[in-house]
Structure 1
Amino acid sequence: MPEQAPGPRDPAPSPTFPFQVGEPTEHRGIVVAPLFPTRDPLALYATLDDALARGFEITETGPDGAVPELAVSNPLDDAVLLYDGEELAGAKQNRILDVSVLVAAGSKLVVPVSCVERGRWRAVSRSFSSAGHVAHAQLRRMKTRALGAEPLARGAAQGAVWDSVDTRLEALDVASETRAHSDAFRAHRRRLDDLAAAFGVLPGQCGAVFGIGDTLCLDALSRPDAFAALWPKLRDGYLLDALDRLDRAPTRPERMLAFVDEVTEAAVTRGPAAGLGVDLRFRGPGVVGSGLELDGEVIQLSAFTVTAEAAEGRIARPSQRAR
């Protein structure tokens, strides 16, 4: 049986992050270092895109919908991992997942999300599809900081998310009638694809550390097969952040290693998850992050630097629904 989550935000010893850093790749000032597992994974789960093709469904919570929540139905015999920041397209407005959620086989639940398309509130489909990317790293960083000690609080990150979407659209000179995060990816699809060719996934890779200047992001999964499926979506989010910062001095390899050390040494709290497992939140002098643990195994991890540059833009107060 999955372990029971502790009480709200219990402090606890740091989990063991079973990853080792490989040789980085640099292209046009972007640096990506692969992570490899140091132990065999235990938990079994499918990724969102695979599950959607087999009958997994995400819909509005009802005819009227609710901006900070979506309904999930998993008819499969597999648990399904929904990754923190994955974008869902369709229904009444596009959303991103506020946290990683492990949805049990044969279960239904309601998951916390944030809107990334504030100018639309009308149905274009009954259910959601995958938007094909994870939110850009700066948005996820700001969302993680805004959620703080209450990661399941509905709507708590909405202001920060909208600010980050607007900032990226304006920085990349993207016109979007509905202020849609996905329009930034659509407008720069060719540039993203050209950059992506330099950063393939390696056999056995389970994660990556992304660096652009002094701003770093780490993402990891327990299963290399799941990471390989998710990598194109994560990579697009990384590269969207880099488009207006190309050809600058690359992140030094020793800085990337130091960042990984900061993640492993950060103070950790555990609390209830939205689905199976235990939600992890960690914070250090220069790092903030989140993860998901199941029966003592870290199955998902995301971490971000917190520097003056990374913290540009305010964290707005939670906002009400915009229609």
Structure 2
Amino acid sequence: MVRLRIHVGQGTHRGPLTVFPVWTDAPTLSGLLTGASAAVDVAERAGSPAVDQLVVTNRADRPALLLAGELLEGGWQNRTLTATTVLEPAVPTVLPVLCVEQGRWGGDQQHRRRARRAPVALRPHLERADAQHEVWRRVSGYGAVAGPSPTDSLVDRLDRSRRHGLVDGLAPLAGQSGVLIGIAGRPMALELFGSRRALAAHWTALLEAAVLDALGRPSIRTSAALARGFAERVQSTDLVPIRAAGAGRRLSGGGRIRVDDVRWRDRTAHLTAIDLTHPVLEAS
């Protein structure tokens, strides 16, 4: 299997956050729609809405990439996708989701899909056996840094975290297709897309989610040496296919740093790597 070569650039330090640009030697992947501009409809299950399921339909004429942790807002309650998937056009698909708004059930048939993201600290828990309880617990925990919410909603807390301005003015650089996030002096996560355009489509949501993880953490810069060491670990991780991801396939591997790679037409559409021992993830 051909390995991606990952290159990490100079980081930008903002309080607890350090944001590093990432490039690869992979050719650009085209043909996938993603982000808020992807024409994806979201609906409750007809007749009997379920907390853990939503129906999504790609209304475009090309496949659409939806990401693990992507928020599906409105409906009977705000949810988050549990896994990255590639949706074929015009095929209604029931996808597994988790609730990120514990205090509301019902009252709204309209969904808003803005392709916002759940913080990284939630994502390793999305496919656990006790996932819903753990996600509710962690969403409630963000209240300590982002304030109360009438319905204990992650969306409310993301809205508040934007006011801190930690990532204002940051933008992808020429050719950049990925980003590495350091918090409180340690690399936490790396996300890599199949194209610069795909990264740009998720850029704001990705960084705003990182802010919520960073609030209340020490303002320590993550060093370039640590960031590059993290990228080298990701680059050398052996990945094995584990299951389909809609029209794509998912490969995973690693130990302390878990790597998930969703591929379409045998090319990386979205790769994530998370340090499962980072203090932000280990926090109770």
Settle same-fold status: TM greater than 0.5. yes
In 1: Cα distance, 2:16 partner to 2:75 partner = 38
Task: Please name the residue that 1:189 is paired with.
Answer: 162
- Structure 1 residue corresponding to 2:79, chosen from 81, 86, 95: 95
Would the alpha carbon gap of residues 66 and 262 (structure 1) be closer, same or farther in structure 2, given more than 3 Å must change? same
In 1: Cα distance, 2:174 partner to 2:113 partner = 25
Task: Please name the residue that 2:108 is paired with.
Answer: 124
> CA deviation digits over 1:263-298, x for unaligned, max 9?
2233423122241111122222x2123220123211
Task: Please name the residue that 1:269 is paired with.
Answer: 240
Deviation at 1:20, TM superposition (A): 2.1
Pairs within 5 Å for 1:157-176: 157-169=131-143, 171-172=144-145, 174-176=147-149
Would the alpha carbon gap of residues 43 and 173 (structure 1) be closer, same or farther in structure 2, given more than 3 Å must change? closer
- Structure 2 residue corresponding to 1:31, chosen from 18, 23, 27: 18
Pairs within 5 Å for 1:127-166: 128-131=111-114, 133-143=116-126, 146-147=127-128, 157-166=131-140
Preserved contact between residue 59 and residue 89 of structure 2 (Cα < 8 Å): yes
| 2:116 alignment partner, SS class | strand
| 2:13 alignment partner, SS class | strand
- Structure 2: runs of 5+ lacking an equivalent: none
Task: Please name the residue that 2:258 is paired with.
Answer: 288
Task: Please name the residue that 1:307 is paired with.
Answer: 277
In 2: Cα distance, 1:156 partner to 1:297 partner = 32
What root-mean-square deviation, in Å, do the aligned CA atoms of Structure 1 and Structure 2 show? 2.0
Give the stretch that moved more between structures: 197-206 or 227-236.
Answer: 197-206
In 2: Cα distance, 1:111 partner to 1:19 partner = 31
| 1:244 alignment partner, SS class | coil
One-letter amino acid of the structure 2 residue matched with residue 223 of structure 1: S
TM-score scaled by length of structure 2: 0.91
| 2:10 alignment partner, SS class | coil
Q: Percent identity?
A: 28
Task: Please name the residue that 1:150 is paired with.
Answer: none
In 2: Cα distance, 1:47 partner to 1:131 partner = 11
Would the alpha carbon gap of residues 276 and 18 (structure 1) be closer, same or farther in structure 2, given more than 3 Å must change? farther
Deviation at 1:29, TM superposition (A): 3.8
Preserved contact between residue 205 and residue 228 of structure 1 (Cα < 8 Å): no
Preserved contact between residue 245 and residue 262 of structure 2 (Cα < 8 Å): no
- Structure 1: runs of 5+ lacking an equivalent: 1-12, 148-154, 315-323
